[in-house]
Amino acid sequence: MNKSGHYQRKRRKQQLLKEIQQQRQLLSAYSQSWLEVTQPYDKGWQALTAFKPYVAIGAGLALLYGLRHPKRFYRWSRRMISILGIVKIVRNTLYTN
């Protein structure tokens, strides 16, 4: 093993270690910005999961009602979907202006 090969490998190793350190710093900075961007979505998801038991109870009651009165349930579900669509259109219209 000659000395020049040893020094080249040593220099290359230092260069690679420096690159790895820079990549780690960039990754850390990007992860912080990612957390800041996704924070509102995380809070919204946590709020939804807090209502999980109530949603389960409501879904069970809706199922029972749907089994006993299928025509009414179908009519009410279509109305709810229409109302949600109207709310979405109004919200999009208000936020774009």
- ∠ CA 80-81-84 to the nearest 5 degrees? 85
Place of tokens 């038991």: 53
Domain residue limits, the chain: 1-50, 51-97
CA atoms within 13 A on the CB side of 82: 6
Q: Are 65 and 73 in contact (CB under 8 A)?
A: yes
Question: What is the overall mean pLDDT for the chain?
Answer: 90
The predicted pLDDT at position 48 comes to 84
First to last CA, the chain: 73
One-letter amino acid at 85 equals G
Q: pTM, whole model, 2 decimals? A: 0.43
Structure tokens at 25: 């710093």
Q: Mean pLDDT check: name the lowest of 14-18, 75-79, 93-97.
A: 93-97
For 12-54, write each residue's pLDDT tens digit.
Answer: 999 999 999 999 999 999 998 999 999 999 998 898 889 989 9
